[in-house]
Structure 1
């Protein structure tokens, strides 16, 4: 059909309308697809924003967690330091309390009268603490201990080792000379504390010991004098002071704080001094083996005659210069089958000078 005719024109218009409608439909579809893509893009952007925010939140949470853990560690360290400081403070308080007790004791030690004899010495030679040995040495049977006045004599006897001792007639014995070693303390550490039940009573008059102890016990057993039931009352022979022990642990402190007490000991009242009593505990003890330079141990002594006779013969033998001996200060013989102990004491500086 020709487009120049009316029918042809109508047909062409109808065809273009259909094409236009198709184009409009395609345009709508494209617009819908565009809108869908925009929605998807928007949703993706929203999701991306959420993920970014979530990541930021997670990072912040992680940082907060790390910060909290760091704070917790710092807090734990501070708590440890605080506990150490509290423990150190507790130890310091205990030490201060102990030092205060020591100060109270040292400021209230029993009085002792002294007289200056005119002798002087170097300050460096002064010893802060002196301990007198009191050593019990068990002896085997058939042995003897000889202490010479001179070390050189003991050295000669030990150098000879075997000694033939004449017992009279054709009888003789051979004994061995050996050095004597004693275990002595090298270092002694003692912790002291004030005894809550004991008091030390000094400034006492010279009188019968039993009477003195009875009167002190009677006086301090009365509550009006600040005392109570007495467990024990004993004299210290080295100082002449008295140690009184109560049954109750709360009495000693009050009596030592008063310090001076009027006690009727003889016909009149006498002022005695009451001071704290110290308990001592050895916390560290180191020993060393020490040779007795003037003492020799004789072994292998048979029981061939009476103890006194044999001891006299042995002592005479080791006194003679011809036998390498010299002046004897002490001699102790223990026969075979018997038990004996020798007592070793300290030698004072005065004795050494003499």
Structure 2
């Protein structure tokens, strides 16, 4: 319904609906205003959203850049760590090499010290060899043939060999006979006094222990001297008294004597002084004129270093006797002498594989014996 206005004679008449129209317009205007503001908000929102997206993109780019920086820092740290480890490994290798070189240097120093010590000993040994007791040799009239280039020496050592009871050792004149007896092994021995009795014995090789190699280390006793080339015209006690008196005097380059000893095997004398310098002075002079008062004799004696020897290495072995045979398992059934005679008679017969017997030893049961063996031929080297 619309309102309309009409003029009345005395004035204008307003339609009652006119205020409502104004309100509607205002409302429409307000709506339009709100629409405008809403559009403005939407536009601002759109701008803000775009700004937000831009900020987010910038933020993502910044975060990515920060991550790249962090990754780069971590990579640099890793590279530094690897490089430090590599350098540390190099340092360890250098330290190890230095340690190895130091050990080698110390080893070389030790070897040099030992060589110096050995050299000093050799020099002392050379000095000692110059003043060793001399041996006088004479030509015995034997000459070696020119074609005989082999060096030989007579070696007849005495070897102690234990033999248990119920055994016998027979030495034949011919080594071939001994070898034949050993090859036969078992032997049946008939007792001559009673042909019905026989004993069975077995032949064994005689294995003798011997020394194959021996190494002796020598050293010079600093306080001892060896007096040699002593004539034999005094008793041992007289000789020791005269020498002790002579070598205890300072005018004779001597000094206080601690001990004096006579060596029975060589006839030399060993004097031990309290001060080692006395020995050195006496050895340097070497030949000393000693006056034996009371018998009016003057002798020139040789003074040299006294050398001790010590076995540092020995290698043992064994040799088999070429002519001797060991027989074991011999029962004690008859008299010792008769049994030995029966053994000798049996092994002298060629029909029993035997031959000439050079020596025989029989040890009855319950007894034992130490026999002595010597080499009977020239040993070649």
Q: TM-score range by the shorter chain?
A: 0.5 to 0.7
Output aligned runs, 1:1-354, within 5 Å.
Answer: 76=99, 79-116=102-139, 117-120=141-144, 124-126=149-151, 133-161=157-185, 162-170=187-195, 171-196=197-222, 198-206=224-232, 211-212=235-236, 214-216=238-240, 218-220=242-244, 222-224=247-249, 226=254, 228-230=257-259, 232-236=261-265, 240-242=266-268, 244=270, 246=272, 248=274, 250=276, 252-263=279-290, 268-349=297-378
Contact 1:180–1:296 (CA under 8 A) maintained in structure 2: yes
3-state DSSP of counterpart to 2:191: strand
Unaligned runs of 5+ in 1: 1-50
Within 2, Cα distance between the matches of 1:213 and 1:164?
61
CA deviation string 1:74-129 (max 9, x = no partner): 754554444233212211111101212322233333222222223215685236x9
Within 2, Cα distance between the matches of 1:156 and 1:70?
72
Superposition RMSD in Å: 3.8
TM-score, normalization by structure 2:
0.62
Within 2, Cα distance between the matches of 1:277 and 1:130?
28
3-state DSSP of counterpart to 2:243: helix
TM-score, normalization by structure 1:
0.66
Larger Rg: 2
3-state DSSP of counterpart to 2:330: coil
Report the alpha carbon displacement of residue 295 of structure 1 after superposing the two structures with TM: 0.9
Report the alpha carbon displacement of residue 273 of structure 1 after superposing the two structures with TM: 2.4
Which 10-residue stretch deviates more, 336-345 or 255-264? Answer: 255-264
CA deviation string 1:273-310 (max 9, x = no partner): 23333322333322333211111002222334443443
Report the alpha carbon displacement of residue 260 of structure 1 after superposing the two structures with TM: 2.5
CA deviation string 1:164-196 (max 9, x = no partner): 143424354433221111232233222222234
Question: Could you say if the C-alpha distance between residues 259 and 167 of structure 1 is closer, same or farther in structure 2, counting changes exceeding 3 Å?
Answer: farther
Within 2, Cα distance between the matches of 1:70 and 1:337?
74
Within 1, Cα distance between the matches of 2:98 and 2:188?
81
Within 2, Cα distance between the matches of 1:296 and 1:149?
12
Question: Could you say if the C-alpha distance between residues 319 and 69 of structure 1 is closer, same or farther in structure 2, counting changes exceeding 3 Å?
Answer: closer
Contact 1:165–1:175 (CA under 8 A) maintained in structure 2: no
Question: Could you say if the C-alpha distance between residues 94 and 297 of structure 1 is closer, same or farther in structure 2, counting changes exceeding 3 Å?
Answer: same
Contact 1:201–1:241 (CA under 8 A) maintained in structure 2: no
